[in-house]
Each structure stands twice: as structure tokens, then as C-alpha cells.
Amino acid sequence: MAITSRFGRPQTAKPRNDVYIGLLVVALVAMIASCVLLLVEKSSMAGPPPTKVVPAQARFTGFDTEKGK
């Protein structure tokens, strides 16, 4: 039976946390983790672009058109 307060409203027990509150917490943690990973990825791309690699200095002699060579 509910106890009546002095303001006339019945007082009931606070609702307990259930599995949906746990799922909300898990979703919140996943969102925070994804934002942190996004910032880490963004900061790794913020630097200067990588330097160009010098190609090998071999001279191109063309393709062999004769099968015997």
C-alpha cells in the first residue's frame, strides 16, 4: 500500500534500473570510444603528407618484340 505524503500525493518506491539502462550505458560508452578513435585517426592525418619516394633509376629499354630474346 502506498503511503500518502503530507501534500496528498501517494509515495511509491523509485523504479529500479533494468536491462535497458544497462544497454543505454553500453551504447554511451561505445559512442565515446568511437569519438576518441575518430580523433586519434584525424590527428594522425593532420601532419604533412608523406615524402615522395624516388623511383628506381633503371633505364627503360622497351619491350622485347622478338620471341627469341
Give the chain's end-to-end CA distance (angstroms, integer).
102
Tell me the DSSP string of 7-58.
Answer: TSPEE-PPPPP-HHHHHHHHHHHHHHHHHHHHHHHHHHTSSPPPPPPPPP-P
pLDDT digits (tens, 9 = 90+) for 11-51: 788 888 899 999 999 999 999 999 999 999 998 887 777 77
Average of pLDDT values for 42-69?
Answer: 72
Q: How high is the pLDDT of residue 67?
A: 59
DSSP assignment letter at 56: P
pTM: 0.51
Q: How high is the pLDDT of residue 63?
A: 73
Name the residue ranges covered by the structural domains of the chain.
17-41
